[in-house]
Amino acid sequence: MEQVFAVAMSGGVDSSLTAKMLLEQGHKVFGITLRLWVENTPEDDVPLAVTDAKKMCDFLGIKHYVVDARHVFYENVVDYFVKEYARGRTPNPCVFCNKNIKFDLLLHRALELGATHMVTGHYAQVKYNQTTGLYELHKGADPTKDQSYVMYTMNQHILSHIVFPLGAQCKTETRKEANRYQLPVANKPDSEDICFLPNHNYQGLVQRELKQPVKKGKIVHENGEVLGTHTGLFNYTIGQRKGLGIAYSTPLYVTKLDAEKNEVVVGPNESLFTKRMICKFYNFLDGVTPKVLHAEGKIRYAANPASCTAHILEDGTMEVVFDEPQRAITPGQSVVFYKGTQVLGGGVIDKVC
């Protein structure tokens, strides 16, 4: 069967280079772009990402398709993002976008359009293990750009149709190759922060989308002393020190966001170190949930993996215990399990024990 590659085009250097590389190899290629919900964007305005992707497809001489995912994106990513912050959590929207949009909706549409594979510019690697007969997800070779942490929700069907051509190289090589091919976006800056927040003000989004008055409450020392008033739980995150608006004799950090009491709890740095957490919405890429798993766990995108043990409790949740205490384990973030460079699975942190 002839291979046809649908390149998820964003108008940036990574996706543009992947399309060019495949064309140079003689493959059949077309571009496909998600039109997502973006805050304060009128219904008739086409986002810059879509127009830039169209320009690059025209430059490369390939067809370009647009998938209007505004409604489903809002329901599955933005609404979840807002509600999690309102509950005193710190969500990672990329995890749920990958799960419900990029590697679900977009992949499904690419296959409908005749593609055998969907290609993205992510810095991760898919490998086929001939011994086990399973596809594996591995870290990208560039540790500063590795995106495997937000991809633990994948399964074997998805992995069998995904290609990451840039996963084995560094971003500096991507820039170099893009300039060699004289791509117009060779030196285009990387996109940063949250794609649906052009002004980067997530607090404003949460407040507007909740459509209700901000619930102020107490800032309480873990010893019970009331130190001040907070401006809404969504304005704080675990480990935060600056911007608390309180005075104390020693440095204090946010150690807990108590949604039931509507309180921000603060304490010394040592109170941020814990070993145990309970997780929900877990997934393992081989399709098998292990009874007990010994692996290296990563509690946030920029964290270093550390040895831990995970097992499923009677109520169906997953308990994860680290060998050594970890700093600022944060509900709403994910813990992702690695074996060397391989991603085994992960889950959303529900509570810290």
Q: What is the DSSP string of 59-83?
A: HHT--EEEEE-HHHHIIIIIHHHHH
Alpha-carbon distance 119 to 303, whole Å?
27
Give the model's pLDDT for residue 47: 85
- Does the residue 299 lie in any domain? yes
- Does the residue 196 lie in any domain? no
Please check if 121 is assigned to a binding site: yes
- Does the residue 191 lie in any domain? no
Give the model's pLDDT for residue 297: 98
Give the model's pLDDT for residue 197: 87
For the beta sheet containing 117-119, the strands, ordered from the edge strand earlier in sequence to the opposite edge, are 64-68, 28-35, 4-8, 117-119, 162-163
The residue behind tokens 């995904």 is 162
Domain CATH for 241:
2.30.30.280
Residue at 229: amino acid letter: T
Judge whether 124 and 137 are in contact, CB under 8 Å.
yes
Q: Are residues 248 and 295 in the same domain?
A: no
Give the model's pLDDT for residue 271: 98
User: Annotated catalytic residue: which of 195, 279, 308, 353?
Assistant: 195
Give the model's pLDDT for residue 275: 97
Mind listing the pLDDT tens digit for each residue in 53-73?
A: 999 999 999 999 999 999 999
User: In 3D, which of 157, 130, 307, 129 has the Cα closest to residue 138?
Assistant: 129
Please check if 167 is assigned to a binding site: no
User: Annotated catalytic residue: which of 97, 279, 308, 353?
Assistant: 97
- Does the residue 311 lie in any domain? yes
Mind listing the pLDDT tens digit for each residue in 329-347?
A: 999 999 999 999 999 999 9
Q: Are residues 114 and 255 in the same domain?
A: no
Please check if 16 is assigned to a binding site: no
- Does the residue 171 lie in any domain? yes
Give the model's pLDDT for residue 83: 95
Please check if 13 is assigned to a binding site: yes
Q: Are residues 167 and 282 in the same domain?
A: no
Give the model's pLDDT for residue 88: 93
Residue spans of the chain under pLDDT 70: none
The domain boundary residue, chosen from 267, 301, 328: 267
Judge whether 32 and 213 are in contact, CB under 8 Å.
no
Q: Annotated catalytic, 195?
A: yes
Give the model's pLDDT for residue 257: 97
Q: Annotated catalytic, 308?
A: no
Which residues span the domain enclosing 78? 4-181
